[in-house]
Structures are given as structure tokens and as C-alpha cells.
Structure 1
Amino acid sequence: MSPDEHISPVSKTTMSVLIVDDEPGMRSFLMKALAKKFALVETASTIAQAEELRSHGHFDLLIVDIRLPDRSGIEWHEALDDPERQSDIIFMTGYADMDVAIKALRAGASDFIMKPFHLEQMITAVDRCIEKRLLKRENFMLRRELSHGQSSTIIGNSEAIRDVKEVIERIAPTNAVVLIEGESGTGKELVARQLHQQSGRSGAFVPVNCGAIAPELLASELFGHTAGAFTGAKGNREGLFSYASGGTIFLDEIGEMPMNMQTALLRVLEQRAIRPVGSEKEIDINVRVIAATNRLLIDEVEAGRFRRDLFYRLNVLNIVIPSLRSRPEDVVELTHYFTLQLSQELGIKDVIWSHEDLQVLQQHDWPGNIRELRNMIERCILLGKPPAEYWKKPVSVMVNDAMGYPLSWPLKEVEKQHVTKVVDSHSGNKSAAARDLGVSRKTLDRKFKDWLTHEKQGLEEE
């Protein structure tokens, strides 16, 4: 079977491979076969040539003949013993020596193939290496997601949010670039996650906050770098575009991106290729780009702070996220969602807010939008303070004397006076007052009922 006839179960990735063999025919044969799988395929006839190529770029996979003119592949310690480079290695040999095979595997080889071999053998070994590396990338992104504690649920049933959900459903299956606009805290990343989840793309969702990364490091974070590309770059490193292979990269706060990086991003969008910092080679990518901003980018363009051509390249499809104050009908549902979520995270029994609490939440302007609401709910749960009390100013209570009540009062009258003042300080909100007093609302209602009964009895006696 020829390389052209073989169809791989693993689609082309952004990964790179280096073939090291002193036989020109073998190099040509493998290069033709693997070009269908890898974004970059390079060949070398000696370890010295291979090291020169490795000094200018990262290779995910090395396919190496053991017997080479300058050195044995098993003695290629620069590749085998460098944890920074993390390349998988498949060794090949035309000599049926079991001891050599054992040495190769002990040296860290991912696989060992005897020459001559069928192409299917090599492809199977290559696919195993690709799948293992993709799994590593997925695990890396999963740990990254867990550390950020991100959700992908869009909460709300207002007309504005229903419109956003409809747009997501309509444009998610496309590969077009999307620009999401909205105030800080409105949930732009949730929309981006929904676009990815409904797109059917098999790769990872990779969020990047462009404003949180130092400008001088942004290119390395996005595109990766080679060893020695800059001070501190001890080894080759993949960028986040590579981790997003087959998936989606979300460029949040795109308006914060420096001008030189805007130029680099424009080239990536046009060429569908990235160039690691310090490398002379470009690597093809299969990544959907979603950008977001809390600024009006057209204003940034007019002010000369954002490239006009990049703005039009990003603004192919546009989604505007409404502010929370423009959809107060969603506040109650969001409050219930965050209360349940946070109660579980904090290990606290379910919290139930009163009607007064929910009313106060709906009346607030929420300048920080959903993020502010979630943070406030968390503080209320931790402090045991209901939302209705969150913005309430302390009320000074007038007392009759230094002790707060006449010494001649019986204990029941002191209790009644204190409870009444606490309820008054909460503007009649008995639920809030009960929480401050450390009793149930039912107990408080019973006391007021008893006091009312005694008052009626006193009037009747008069």
C-alpha cells in the first residue's frame, strides 16, 4: 500500500515530526506518508543535522533510525534526556537484535519498529503517539479549567438572553471568527464556551486573557517558543494555539492586545499558521478563533489603538451580551443558581432567601453585572447576612437610659422592647430580624401574636 492510499483514523494536527534516517528513499517515503498527519515534517540524515533542526523548532515526534553515520540513535542523549523538549521517539532498525530493542525502550522510546515494515505498522505507532500527546494536552487544559472553576451554563430566560442563545445555536456549527462584545462581568466567556460546545469541534476550548499576560510574553504564550529564543527560554514550548488544535481559542479582552501582537494575530487569521518565537518555520493550525472585548473596538480603531484591518477580520460574526440591569427578570434565576452552586462548594446547607431579599436584588443596578452578583451572593453566604441587609445602613436605636430600659421593667417587657426595635431596624422585615435575633421566623410570629393577644386582653379589661 502506498502512502497516498492510506487513510489515517487520526486527522491532521498542529503537531510536528522529524524523521532521521541516512537512507534518502526511507526519508522520502515517510515524509510523503506523514505529511497527511502533521503540520510540519522535517528530515535529517544525521544526528548533527537533526540537532540543528531541533535548535530552531519544536518536534512532537522523532522517528529515528538506530544506526546513523555519526552516532547511534540510542546515544542521542540531547533528545532522550531533555525533559524540557518532551518529544515522543519511535526507533527503527534493520538489524534484528533484541538487546538493541530493549536498550531503545529503556532509553525512553515510545515504540520500536523492525525494517522492513509495512506502512500500516508505522502509521499505527505514529497514531498511538499522537493520541497520547493529544491526551496530555486535554489533561493540561482540564487542569487549567478546574483551577479556574469555570462554568459553561448560560442562565436566564429573558428575551435578550433567548436572542443570544438563538444566535449561538445558529452560528456555532460554522468555523467563522466571532467577536463577542459586552460589559465586564456579563458572561462573555460563557457564550464563547457555548459556541465551542455546540460547534462539534473535537479539540479543547482554550481561554486566554490578553490583558492578564505581560506584553513581552504574549507571543510566547500564544505561539510557543524555541530553546534560547529569549532569556529564560531553556527549552522548546508549545503555545496555547497548539493546545487548541482542532478546537477553539478564546481571546478575551482583545482590546488590551499590544499593536505588534495585533499584527501577528492578523497574520495568523489570514495564513492559518503560527510561528513559534525564535523559529523560522510556520506550523499550520486548525483552530477557531473567538475574541471578546468590553470596549467599543470601533472607537479604539478611530483612536488609533486598534488595527482597522484586524477589527474587520474579527468582526465577521458579532454577538452583543446584554447587561444584567437590562434584564432584571433573570436576577432571581441567577441568584438561585449561584446560591445552590456556592452552598455546595462551601459545604454549607442550602440557603433560602426571602421575598424581600430577591426584591432588593432585582432593584440593584449591578454595575459589575453577573460577576458582581455572584461575588455578593458568596459574601452573604459566608457572613450569614441576607441580601436585603447588604446595602442597609446601620440604624441607631434610641434608649431610655444608659442601660437601654427602665430597671423596673419585667423581663418579658425588655424582650418585647428589644425584639420590636430589631424588627423596626429591618424596616419590618421579620425574616431578617429573626436571623439577627437567632430565632426562627415562626418563633418571632408566635411572640408577636402573644403580645397582640395580651394587648387586646388589657383593652377589654379596661
Structure 2
Amino acid sequence: MTTELMQTPALSVLIVDDEPGMRSFLKKALSKRFALVEVAGSVEDAERLRSRCHFDLLIVDIRLPGRDGIEWNEALDPGSRRSDIIFMTGYADMETAIRALRAGAMDFIMKPFHLEQMMQSVERCLERRLLRRENLLLKREVEQIHVGQNTLIGVSDGMAQVKEVINRVAPTNSVVLIEGESGTGKELVARLLHQKSGRSGAFVPVNCGAIAPELLESELFGHVAGAFTGARSAREGLFTFASGGTIFLDEIGEMPLQMQTALLRVLEQRAIRPVGSEQESPVDVRVVAATNRELLEEVDAGRFRRDLFYRLNVLNVHIPALRERRDDIVELVHHFTRQLSAELGLKEVSWSHEDMQLMTNHDWPGNIRELRNLVERCLLLGKPPAEYWRQQQTPAPTTQGTGESGYPDDMPLKEVERMHVMQVVESQQGNKSAAARILGVSRKTLDRKFKEWGL
């Protein structure tokens, strides 16, 4: 199985077979691939499990006591058939195979089979499911851009100030610097600035930390043919694509010093020079930058140009961390629950008072991204947050300020962050990619934290 599939913990499977040995065999084999593996010996047991949990994949024997697997699948409400299904049988004929395919089977496996055969079938199903999820995310992103579904959730004082600043500065063409921790919603604020600006061009997001330093200048400004090895033809840069619109430079603090000099020249002259060219081309682009670093500290450390900082910091929008706007958490949870239930095709749930209290009191080092990921994970696994936290063997957050458990009240925030990150990594047996998903940050951000801590 591919590395990508091995690193997708929020997937679930239900195995339905009347043979205890087959159920045990498949459960053991699939436990390494899935976060949730359930087994059932009959259609009745399977239906009870299915009514309680969402399963991404069903592996079903055709011959079952009472009613066969194909009949069970055909009897399901078409609107609730959101799981992929693999049928197994030891008594196959052409008619049965056709019935299985017509019932929506992703694969049809004859017993006895080799484990590798089953795992290859599972891999194909998961690849298709993950691809559908990626397409769903892309579709949602396109809808957000063109239909204007972006909205800031929250009525806290901090968010009221953010909304006021957005409404005030959006119609201008001035550079805007958005500051906030990772996962606070900096790109959402940038999109809102663009939507409210009245500019007719595109919104072009660029993650400055995700592009190799030697390619960043070419990506932003383009290049002429023969500018460097492999540049067989001329190529326009992202600034050109954003003409008449907005370019969003995320993680601006990651930009190399040499590139900072080139960006400063663009901001001052309102013109770009493609790599390998001696001519400058004027551009009409509004620049919005964002950072999760303290840029003044980066300036003092010599990692960020002072003149560029002041050029970017014309208008400043500071997004508060989620722990600083706890009054908004309940509204955010309800929003994500409704949104994700509709997108994933799952029944909307109501969280208990205990779940809401725990989520409200949690410090959320990954901010809104971590909160959204938790809601999605709990919906997919069919587990409320309190139960999920207990099963992760990670101490559930306690009432803020009690000092009776959790971290000491006098512990510095950076140390709390380090201890929490290490705890989550340890709970994932050292799997940094899985830990990054739980924390709601990128793997690259997690690696950078480890480097800062000398680990």
C-alpha cells in the first residue's frame, strides 16, 4: 500500500462475514490501515453498527445467515449508500458477479484468496475515495471563491475588531499584513479582503514556505526562455496571473533574504522583471501578506529585511488565537458540524454538554484548523470528542485556570506548546505526519518546531 494511504487515520471499515476466523483474519490485517475496524457476523449486526457509525468501506460476504450481502446492500436507502463495498464469496457464478456489480460493488473477490489480493482491492477503493474527497475540497474552494461563501464566524470582541478592519481597508489598494498563529484563518481573511475590494482580477494564494527558494523568483515573476537549465520556453509568473486582483503571500517570514529584496523592488516600483529578462513589466496587483511569526523579532535576528517589514506593515490585521476567543468556540463547532455533515453525507449530530465544555476549555494550539479537523474526525469515526480524547490516551483539557490538572498555570506558553506537541507525537508512536494532522498543522511546520527545539 502506498505511503499516502498508510497515513490516513480517519478511515473506517466494516467486515461482515459469518465465519469467525475470516472476521478475525481481516480485522487483524486491516487494523494497521484503518482508524476504526468493526466486524459483524450477520446482516442484523452489521445494520446496527452501520446505524451508529459511518464506514468508508464495507467488506461483505455474499452468503450470510437470513439475507445475503447483495440483498442487504440493495435494500439500503440510495441516499445512505455512501460507503464503498467489496463483496466476497466462495460460491460465485456469472449471475452473482453481475448482481454484485449492479449493486454498486467496487470489487468482487473469490474465496479462498491471498491477503495481497484483498489489500490491493482495498487500496484501489481507498485511492478512489481519497480522490473524491480531494475533488470535494477543490469544488468547495472554487465555490468559496466564486460564490462568496467565505464568512468569519464569531461575535467575540477580537473578531468584531477583525471584521471592522476588513471592511475599512478592503476598498483600498494598500498592502495588508495579516498576523496570527497557524490555523487562525489568515487565508480566509485575505479572501474576504479581496472579495470586498471590488477588484475584478483573480485571488492567487502562494505559500512562500512550500516553494523551493531557487524556484520562488521564477514562480512569482516568471522567466524567459533559456533563463536557466530546463527553461525551454517563457513562462508567466503568479504576479501576472493575479493582474487586476490580489496575490496572497502566505508565510512571508519563510521567504529567503534574496527574494525579499526582489519583492521590495516590486512593491516600490509596481513592476516585475521575469528571470533572465532585462525589461520590467508594470503590474496592477494588490499584495496581501501573512505570517505566523513575530516579524520584528525576525528583523532583529537578521532573517527579515527591516525596510520590507515597514513596506508590508502599512495596514495590519491581527487575528486572535482561538484560546483568546473562547466565546466563539460553540458557534464554530455548530458551524463545522453542519458544514461537514452536509459535505460528507453524514447525519448531523448534537454534541453533549461534556463535549462542548471540553472543547471550550481546550487551548487549541492548532487553532481553528485543529478544531475543524477534530469535528471532521469525530463525525467520520462516529465518536464524540470526549470519547475520542480518552481513547487517544491524551489528557482531556480541564477547566481553564483550575491548576488541578493539565499544565501548571505558571508554565510559559511556548513550553506548554512544546509539551503538548511531544505528547501528541508520542501518542502516534512517533508518526509526525499523523501527529501534524491531529494538531491541525502541516508536517513542515511540525518539522520546523522540532528544529527550533533542537530535537
TM-score (norm 2): 0.54
Percent of aligned pairs sharing the same letter: 73
> Which of 319, 325, 329 matches 2:317?
319
Q: How many residues end up aligned between the 2 structures?
A: 254
1:335 alignment partner in structure 2: 333
1:378 alignment partner in structure 2: 376
Q: C-alpha distance in 1, partners of 2:312/2:285? A: 14
1:14 alignment partner in structure 2: none
**Cα 1:379/1:149, change in 2 over 3 Å:** farther
- Aligned-residue CA RMSD (Å): 2.1
Q: C-alpha distance in 1, partners of 2:140/2:219? A: 18
1:242 alignment partner in structure 2: 240
Displacement of 1:296 = 0.5
Q: C-alpha distance in 1, partners of 2:214/2:184? A: 29
The amino acid of 1:208's aligned partner reads V
The 5-angstrom pairing of residues 7-22 of structure 1 reads: none
Q: C-alpha distance in 2, partners of 1:352/1:143? A: 24
Q: C-alpha distance in 1, partners of 2:344/2:381? A: 12
Displacement of 1:211 = 0.3
**Cα 1:345/1:200, change in 2 over 3 Å:** same
1:351 maps to 2:369 = no
Displacement of 1:351 = 2.2
Q: C-alpha distance in 1, partners of 2:250/2:223? A: 22
> Which of 140, 148, 151 matches 1:153?
151
1:275 alignment partner in structure 2: 273
The 5-angstrom pairing of residues 125-144 of structure 1 reads: none
Displacement of 1:372 = 0.4
Displacement of 1:190 = 0.8
Q: C-alpha distance in 1, partners of 2:392/2:293? A: 38
Displacement of 1:150 = 8.4
> Which of 278, 297, 300 matches 1:302?
300
**Cα 1:286/1:229, change in 2 over 3 Å:** same
1:163 alignment partner in structure 2: 161
The amino acid of 2:347's aligned partner reads K
**Cα 1:145/1:231, change in 2 over 3 Å:** farther
C-alpha distance after superposition, 1:67-112 (max 9, x if no partner):
xxxxxxxxxxxxxxxxxxxxxxxxxxxxxxxxxxxxxxxxxxxxxx
Displacement of 1:339 = 1.2
Q: C-alpha distance in 1, partners of 2:392/2:239? A: 52
**Cα 1:258/1:233, change in 2 over 3 Å:** same
**Cα 1:230/1:391, change in 2 over 3 Å:** same
The amino acid of 2:274's aligned partner reads P
The amino acid of 1:156's aligned partner reads G
Please list every run of at least 4 consecutive aligned residues from structure 1 whose deviation after the TM superposition is greater than 4 angstroms.
142-151
C-alpha distance after superposition, 1:431-461 (max 9, x if no partner):
xxxxxxxxxxxxxxxxxxxxxxxxxxxxxxx
| SS of equivalent to 1:292 | strand
> Which of 175, 178, 181 matches 1:180?
178
Q: C-alpha distance in 1, partners of 2:392/2:165? A: 46
Q: C-alpha distance in 2, partners of 1:210/1:353? A: 38
C-alpha distance after superposition, 1:352-389 (max 9, x if no partner):
22222111110111000000001111110111110121
**Cα 1:358/1:263, change in 2 over 3 Å:** same
> Which of 250, 253, 261 matches 1:263?
261
**Cα 1:143/1:344, change in 2 over 3 Å:** closer
Displacement of 1:145 = 6.1
Displacement of 1:340 = 1.5
The 5-angstrom pairing of residues 398-417 of structure 1 reads: none
The amino acid of 1:243's aligned partner reads F
The amino acid of 2:282's aligned partner reads D
| SS of equivalent to 1:392 | helix
C-alpha distance after superposition, 1:209-230 (max 9, x if no partner):
0000110110111111112212
Which shifted more, 218-227 or 353-362? Answer: 353-362
Q: C-alpha distance in 2, partners of 1:329/1:219? A: 42
> Which of 223, 226, 232 matches 1:225?
223
Q: C-alpha distance in 2, partners of 1:251/1:310? A: 13
The amino acid of 2:310's aligned partner reads Y
C-alpha distance after superposition, 1:11-51 (max 9, x if no partner):
xxxxxxxxxxxxxxxxxxxxxxxxxxxxxxxxxxxxxxxxx
Q: C-alpha distance in 2, partners of 1:203/1:292? A: 20
1:210 alignment partner in structure 2: 208
Gaps of 5+ in 1: 1-141, 396-462
Displacement of 1:279 = 1.4
1:97 alignment partner in structure 2: none
C-alpha distance after superposition, 1:244-286 (max 9, x if no partner):
1111000000000000100000000000000111112111000
